[in-house]
Structure 1
Amino acid sequence: MSHIIYMTTAMDSSDFNEYLVHWSSPPNPSNQNFHNKLIRSLAINNKVDVISVRPFSRSLCNIKHLKKSDREDGNISWHYIPIQRNLFQKIILGQTHVNDLMKKLATPDSIIFVDTINPSIVHFAKHALKNRNLKIVGICTDSPSNISGTSRSYTTYLLSHTNNYSGYIALTSGLNELFNPNNFPSLITEGIVFENAIEKKTELGKYFFFGGALLPRYGVYDLIKGFQLFKKSKKGYKLFIAGHHGNKRMIEEAIGEDENIVFLNGITIEESLAYQKGAIANINPRPFSEDLDRYSVPSKTLEYLTSGNPTLSVKNSKLQKSLGDHIIWIKSSSAKNIDAALKHVVSLTKAERSSLGQKAEKKVLELYSLQATNEKVNDLLKRLS
């Protein structure tokens, strides 16, 4: 059993759900979900201390400051550092608490995991680990240049301060090349999934589901247009949309008076899984681009596959290679092609849809379950020098 100190913005799932109600616009849950799964995978046979720098926004969160707290959960100990509204106080106080925790928790054999796309985490790790000869593993979930609203200096800072760690876990080979120019030991895994044991939504009739980023570049407006084309000839179906980082007014204007499209705003991961479990099909309309394909994997597509229902997705080269025809591939994110994909899935019999969904669920759990991930990461830890 190894001792891992995991530095992240992620929180225990129940704590994150309680925190969501204090936000006028919910924070992006994709990093929360990925890191939470990786932490739980590691904890199968390792002791994990999580140092959590919780996401915070003075304009979007109604809490004045976040207090220090701790939570125990089996092999996982969550350590939430205090967060202040004032940026200067946040950095000074945060660094002090991270330093104190590192002195308390770290042993000569501890292995440090660091989220490489958060500047606060990288900064705190750099100073807390100074003069400590500990192995560090960088967790690379996206290219800094893909993060909305960031600057060139943000990208430069992260890449220059994370390029000499002991090892790396990356979602794509492109990310590994970006963060790991010295070719240190690495693991490339497209994602991690839980088994979806949530009870499905049963009272909503026949519907499709989308949950994810609501920014135009991720295809939600193409999905709305595609569904509106679909329902001209196919009656009795609804589309449920949930997500974050979008313009609520623009989404509502795009939906208009269409009673067959329901906007759920931000929902918890448990609610999202329940909607996925009851859907005719779950859809990821994210347009294909070389840059996105090189540096990111649509985590929602993997999550959808655990529902036992068909998954529709626009092209992604990594998932096409690993999952092939377990996914119904949409030719492009155009409204016309989304309409065609929706018509195709409803043309299948209920038995055909069930068979497709169940085979996909079995395959994705075989490749990306907590246990499968645990074995791959433990192998990486053995290779660290």
Structure 2
Amino acid sequence: MKLLYIGCFCEPSTERLIGSRTRITISTTTFQKALLQGFKELENKLDYIVNVPDIGSFPMRCSNLFFPRSEFEYASMKGVNGAFLNFTYLKKYSIYHSIIKEASKWLDSHNGEKVMILVYSMIYPYLKAAIDLKHRYPNVKVSCIVLDLPEYFGDNTSFLYRVYGKVTTNRIYTLVPEVDSFIILTEYMKDKLNVGTRPWCLLEGVYNPIEVASQKKRKKTILYTGKLDARFGIRDLIEAFKRIDDEEFSLWICGLGLDQAFVEDAVKSDSRIKYWGLVEQKRIFEMQREATLLVNPRKGGAEYTKYSFPSKTMEYMASGTPTVMYKLPGLPVDYEEHLVLMPDNSQETFTAILKEWGSKEQAELDEFGKHARLFILKNKNSEIQAKRLMNFLCTDQK
């Protein structure tokens, strides 16, 4: 069986083309790069990659109107970046046709063989292209990596989402019955997607080990990296931190989002809070090593938390710095002993946990963080997860 990957990551040659204003979905690119790096050491690899990067649209979120076609090699696998027009509203049609064109060229040369298309995400033009290719080529099946359900893409509180988002979500779900198998983030997704008897594989994430120079620890420093959005708990974190009656504590915040103004106001009212804005990934990893605690303030009460496994959980744990978070519905049991889980949702408990763990001796913090790091490196690294995925694709679907 041949494997064709349809993706939307920013590989090195693409990164050189993007403009200074370009918005990149970092978690999307990070996951795909980590997964693809895992295939590098395997005997069985993906046979070809058709890629169109997931970036902001011209003119507001990117300075480039058009991206040319380019061939590349990533993790010892050959691929192509399809050409597309990056203009708002026309973009998705251009991406769809680009994928169809590039994938058809490759599929035409493998007409007599079984082919599995592995498509990343349920983003409409990518999944639509994969399904239409399946209809065009009788030797093709489609497997979809589902990291987010479409109704939870982006900011579902915005006016544009209320107008256009629900229509797009419904269109995506009309494609789901045509998918032959699924790679899902949490078991709750099975029911939402009506997987039924179709094959599925649980793959809550992938961590690609990254070498970061040893960093000097900063006492009583709490770090949050991610979207600045009330849905993800940034306001709860700030309010809990303000209640800590210890001037030695500090809170570092990195990221962009709807609540940026709220964060900036918090900085003005509490000198212990530092907002760093959007920080490059290498520096993020360094800051995670410097901090005393890492925190994910997302609560588990909202419906969408059943269908999410925050990628930052793996990233945080792999840093070796203790991670404080709530017990989310999609969190597998084997993670629990390696995390500082808050027993309830009260602000008082949040503050107490931050203060208690932020005040512990560094030796105790290092020991706890070491076990969390080893758990990720041994069980969730790129090669292990890619091997699990490959075994699923090649064995469970014959």
TM-score above 0.5, yes or no:
yes
Q: Name the residue aligned to 1:56.
A: 56
2:103 alignment partner in structure 1: 102
Residue in 2 aligned with 1:218? 232
Task: Answer yes or no: is 1:143 the counterpart of 2:149.
Answer: yes
Deviation digits for residues 209-247 of structure 1 (CA, Å, limit 9, x no counterpart): 1111211110011111112212x2x23232211123334
Displacement of 1:7: 1.5
CA distance in 1, matches of 2:359, 2:128: 53
Identify the residue that residue 377 of structure 1 maps to in structure 2: 389
- The percentage of counterpart residues that share the same residue type is 20
The residue aligned with 2:10 is 11
SS of residue in 2 equivalent to 1:199: coil
Aligned pair count reads 380
Question: SS of the counterpart of 1:288?
Answer: coil
Change beyond 3 A, Cα 1:144–1:329 = same
Q: How far did 1:333 drift?
A: 5.0
1:122 aligns with one of 122, 127, 135: 127
Q: 2:134–2:140: 8 Å Cα contact kept in structure 1?
A: yes
Question: CA, structure 1 residues 92+189, in 2 after alignment: closer, same or farther (shift >3 Å)?
Answer: closer
- Name which of structure 1's ranges 81-90 and 191-200 shifts more when overlaid on structure 2: 81-90
Q: Which amino acid aligns with 2:171?
A: Y
Q: 1:228 to 1:198 in 2, by over 3 A?
A: same
Residue 120 (structure 1) shift: 1.6
Instruction: Give 2:349's aligned residue.
Output: 337
Whether the 8 Å contact between 1:117 and 1:143 is mirrored in structure 2 is yes
* SS of equivalent to 2:226: strand
| Map of 1:153 onto structure 2 | 167
Does residue 83 of the first structure (1) align with residue 100 of the second (2)? Answer: no
TM-score (norm 2): 0.87
Q: Return the letter of the residue paired with 1:171.
A: L
Kept in 2: contact 1:83–1:94 (CA 8 A)? yes
- CA distance in structure 1 between the aligned counterparts of 2:13 and 2:350, rounded to whole angstroms: 35
Query: How far apart are residue 60 of structure 1 and its match?
Result: 2.0
Is 1:296–2:296 an aligned residue pair? no
Task: After TM superposition, list the pairs within 5 Å mapping 1:1-385 onto structure 2.
Answer: 3-12=2-11, 15-16=14-15, 19=18, 21-23=20-22, 26-45=23-42, 46-54=45-53, 55-58=55-58, 59-86=60-87, 89-106=90-107, 107=110, 108-132=113-137, 133-147=139-153, 148-149=155-156, 150=161, 151-202=165-216, 206-230=220-244, 232=245, 234-319=246-331, 321-381=333-393, 382-385=395-398
1:247-305 per-position Cα deviation (integer Å, ceiling 9, x unaligned): 43232123324332222222233222221122111110001125233211122112100
Q: Which aligned segments of 4 or more residues in structure 1 are displaced greater than 6 angstroms?
A: none
Q: 1:109 to 1:75 in 2, by over 3 A?
A: farther
Residue range with higher mean Cα deviation, 95-104 or 183-192: 95-104
1:140, 1:176 within 8 Å by CA — same for their partners in 2?
no
Q: Give 3-state SS (helix, strand or coil) of 1:190's partner.
A: coil
Three-state SS of the structure 1 residue aligned to 2:211 is coil
TM-fit CA distance, 1:204: 6.1
The question of whether the paired residues in 2 share the 8 Å contact of 1:222 and 1:333 is answered with no
Structure 1: state its 5+ residue gaps.
Answer: none
- Tell me which moved more, 101-110 or 347-356: 101-110
Deviation (angstroms), 1:377? 0.9
Could you report, residue by residue, the CA deviation over 1:298-345 in whole angstroms, capped at 9, with x for unpaired residues?
Answer: 221121000111111111234351212210012345432221111121
Determine helix, strand or coil for the equivalent of 2:41. coil
Structure 1 residues 285 and 333: CA distance shift in structure 2, 3 A? farther
- Say whether the 8 Å CA contact 1:224–1:255 is kept in structure 2: no
CA contact (8 A) 1:28 1:213 kept: no
For residues 168-187 of structure 1, the C-alpha deviation after alignment (integer angstroms, 9 at most, x for no partner) is 10001111332253321110
The answer (yes or no) to whether the contact 1:302–1:364 under 8 Å persists in 2 is yes
